[in-house]
Amino acid sequence: MSDLLTVVLAAGKGTRMKSDTNKVLHKIAGKEMVNHVIDTADKISSKVICIVGHQAEDVKEAINSDVNFKLQSEQLGTGHAVMQAKNEIENHSGDVLILYADIPLIKEKTLQDMQKFHDNQSANLTIITTLLKNPTGYGRIIKNEESEIIKIVEEDDATSKEKKINEINSGIMCIDSNSLVKALDDLDNDNAQNEYYLTDVVDSVRSEKGKILSYQIDDKEEITGVNDRVNLSKAEKTIRERINKQHMINGVTIIDPQTTYIDENVEIGADTIIYPFTYIEGETKIGSHNIIKPHNHIIDTVIGDHNNIKNSNVIKESIIKSQCNIGPFAHIRPGCIVADGVKIGNYVEIKKADIREKTKVPHLSYVGDAEIGTQTNVGAGTIFANYDGKNKHKTIIGNSVFIGSNSTLVAPLKIENKGKTGAGAVVTKDVKEDTTVIGVPAREYIENKDD
Ligand code: UD1
Ligand code: MG
């Protein structure tokens, strides 16, 4: 197949979204609509050009990949949008693919198959079309007896007979660069909307005796445009179904795909089981053999293997290694590292906490700005008092420490290996190795052997 130059049209206003945010920046499965299209384009193209106009700066900022932007300062139609990339099109020898930023469900494979078809048939222009029961609003495809496209008529320009045609223009086309350059020179705005219609390239290619074919697809969803929030929710559902299906094929059990929301970049290992009402977002990576019980919300987190994530936890920007028990109802806030075999139990909140192997924080605690060694037990209701009203301070706890229930650890504080605090202690001074402190404020407890 020839090298592909892809032009993505993203300059339009998207009025029907009724939004301050540009239409193509609305997210589907955690990723902006335009980025869905650009990422698909990136996989199959040697170069991608994105035409921006309305809220151009916002759109440019949202796109991370290496894209060449062209500004269409006035939106005078789809043909006019493509004209902005004319120099690049002239310098490209081979096929040019046109995509719309508001048609986010188109699949890489469909586009590749279309380009193959286009090249095998030696067509000059191939347009993706489909048959719709209700074609209202779309450009209609008019063909001759040899099934070649001879015209595309927009809704506003169509006669009542033409309006009855069910084959519609998706807007997605593959065209050889020479034909496109010539066609862009030929475009005018002599139509009902006074716009430069990209669809008029058909007239130009025909006048040069070029071959124009339709690549008709059955899956209408792939080429459905997102124009309002109803379309947006349908697109979201379709993309989420695709994502979940891929995970299931890869060996992940998703008990109820309808209520499981997984963003596109999330990775999950085989034999992990995901219960209903779970939301996994961003760049999260989850290993294998984990059990994720109902109502978990996991964001930008790395999780190892064989963990038991019980019901209703919020876990964000943290690392959970392997064989841990989390929850129910734990809140793991950004910056935590939870080592192998750790337990973070019921109603425990942790933040910027580095908790080493086999340590337990089983009930009702707040652990913030902390380092805790291995095999330490943090008793029920312990509070790490990390904030003095002005600054945050750190608490460092050693290995095999025992923190009594309802202790308050006032940072900055250090409790060395095998230190102990009594129940209800308010610890304001460092605790030496193998030493017990009790009371408020806590003092060293020395056992009186004579008692
Ligand atoms: C277009 C097609 C129509 C097709 C339909 C499929 C034309 C003339 N018509 O109509 O045949 O059935 O799509 O959805 O092409 N855009 C720009 N600059 C502009 C105008 C539009 O970048 O000046 C972008 C929009 O952001 C959008 C895309 O082009 O991503 C399509 O524009 P839109 O106005 O929605 O075209 P339709 O009227 O739907
Ligand atoms: Mg449209």
Determine if ligand 1 sits within 6 Å of the CB of residue 81.
yes
Determine if ligand 1 sits within 6 Å of the CB of residue 9.
yes
Ligand 1 centroid – CA 78 distance (Å) = 5
The pair of structure tokens assigned to 323 is 């064989």
The pLDDT value recorded for residue 449 is: 67
Rounded CA separation 71/79 (Å) = 14
Structural domains for the chain = 4-223 (3.90.550.10), 229-444 (2.160.10.10)
**In the predicted structure, residue 331 carries a pLDDT above the cut 70:** yes
Residue minimizing CA distance to atom 37 of ligand 1: 138
Do residues 228 and 17 touch, judged by C-beta distance below 8 A? yes
The pLDDT value recorded for residue 427 is: 98
- pLDDT tens per residue across span 125-171: 999 999 999 999 999 999 999 999 999 999 999 999 999 999 999 99
- pLDDT tens per residue across span 254-313: 999 999 999 999 999 999 999 999 999 999 999 999 999 999 999 999 999 999 999 999
Specify the ligand 1 atom closest to the Cα of 75. 23
Determine if ligand 1 sits within 6 Å of the CB of residue 198.
yes
**14-23, 108-117, 274-283, 409-418: least confident range:** 14-23
DSSP per residue, 365-388: -EEEEEEE-TT-EE-TT-EEE-B-
Query: If pLDDT is split at 50, 70 and 90, which confidence band does 19 have?
Result: very high
Rounded CA separation 347/29 (Å) = 29
Query: If pLDDT is split at 50, 70 and 90, which confidence band does 451 have?
Result: low
Do residues 132 and 180 touch, judged by C-beta distance below 8 A? no
**In the predicted structure, residue 447 carries a pLDDT above the cut 90:** no
Burial class (CB in 10 A: 0-12, 13-18, 19+), 75: middle
Please say if 363 is a catalytic residue. Answer: yes
Query: If pLDDT is split at 50, 70 and 90, which confidence band does 448 have?
Result: confident
**What percent of the chain clears pLDDT 70, i.e. is strictly above it?**
99
Specify the ligand 1 atom closest to the Cα of 168. 12
- pLDDT tens per residue across span 208-266: 999 999 999 999 999 999 999 999 999 999 999 999 999 999 999 999 999 999 999 99
Specify the ligand 1 atom closest to the Cα of 23. 26
pTM > 0.85 = yes
Catalytic residue from among 289, 297, 306, 363? 363
